[in-house]
Amino acid sequence: MPADRWLRRPLPRPHAGLRLLCLPHAGGSTGLYRTWAGLLPPEVELLLACPPGREDRLDDLFPANLPGLVAGLADAVVPLLDRPWAVFGHSMGATVAHELVLHLLRRGHRAPVHLFASAREAPQHHHGGALHLLDDDALCAELVRLGGTDPTLLAMPEFRQLVLPAIRGDYRLIETYEARPVGLLPCPVTALIGDRDTELTAQEADGWHTWTTEAFERLSFPGGHFYLSDRPREVVDAVLHRLRSATPAPAKTGRRPV
């Protein structure tokens, strides 16, 4: 499947020295990160993952399991690993990001310069669950509780029909995921949490330190599970601060940096 089915570039920067790949939460879309494009400097190009079941991929075949999702995304990412890259995943997206990096490393590709795991427990604390088995009303109630989705929209039958298949499908992938990743990451890992996120404890986030051979830290922001939607500038600044030493200057000619 063409890479442009999986990845979007809201602000193409073909000569940027580093690419930042961002992955959404369960049922989420590229809209979670679209404002980031204007907050990033010219030397960083934003790539947004668009899994099946949303936006213009409503009719695309949904993967059978999370490894299948990772494999499809990896095929799209490989051609873009010609320069340094980093990855940011929110909630389910953090798990996908982790498995994606391990998948790429097994295939002999370059490691990212940093992995950012947002609002997600480390694999050893994976909860599982059965939310994907709930009826539509109960699933919508759970989405309202988490925040991040307008309750007014969820009350509209046409909106439910549009978004619930992807949400339910993603929940199935993450809730049936067998958290048995193999290998350590050769890059720093930063866990980001909202200080009022009832889905995650600081201890569960700190567990990410066992999955890297490099530096680890945890950052806390005011807010709940979707803290990053309320303060995109603060989150982007925190990400850039940790990428600064790994971000080459943009090319000054029409040639790609080497």
Residue 91 designated active-site: yes
- The closest alpha carbon to 10, from 35, 43, 32, belongs to 35
Of residues 25, 29, 90, 91, which has the active-site annotation?
91
Q: Does residue 254 register a pLDDT over 50?
A: no
Q: Quote the pLDDT of residue 253.
A: 43
Question: Which of 51-65, 104-118, 145-159, 166-180 is the most confident on average?
Answer: 104-118
Are 81 and 112 in contact by the 8 Å Cβ rule? The answer is: no
How many helices and strands (H and E) does the chain possess? Answer: 9, 7
Q: Quote the pLDDT of residue 163.
A: 85
**Size (the chain), residues:** 258
- The closest alpha carbon to 131, from 147, 145, 142, belongs to 142
According to CATH, the topology of domain 3-128+180-246 is Rossmann fold (3.40.50)
**Every domain of the chain and the residues it spans:** 3-128+180-246
User: Per-residue pLDDT averaged across 110-136, rounded?
Assistant: 91
d(CA 109, CA 5) in angstroms, rounded, equals 21
Q: Does residue 249 register a pLDDT over 70?
A: no
For 256, the token pair is: 């790609």
What is the CB neighbour count within 10 angstroms for residue 67? Answer: 14
**Amino acid residing at 124:** Q
Burial class (CB in 10 A: 0-12, 13-18, 19+), 164: middle
d(CA 28, CA 100) in angstroms, rounded, equals 18
Residue 90 designated active-site: no
Residue 67 sits at φ, ψ, to 5 deg, of: -55, -35
For 38-71, what is each residue's pLDDT tens digit? 999 999 999 999 999 999 998 898 999 999 999 9
Q: Quote the pLDDT of residue 105.
A: 97
DSSP string, 54-72: SGGGTTSPPPSSHHHHHHH
Of residues 90, 98, 126, 225, which has the active-site annotation?
225
For 164-218, what is each residue's pLDDT tens digit? 888 899 999 999 999 889 999 999 999 999 999 998 999 999 999 999 999 999 9
Residues above pLDDT 70, as percent of the chain: 93
Identify the band that residue 257 occupies on the pLDDT scale cut at 50, 70 and 90.
Answer: very low
d(CA 251, CA 238) in angstroms, rounded, equals 24
User: Per-residue pLDDT averaged across 117-122, rounded?
Assistant: 97
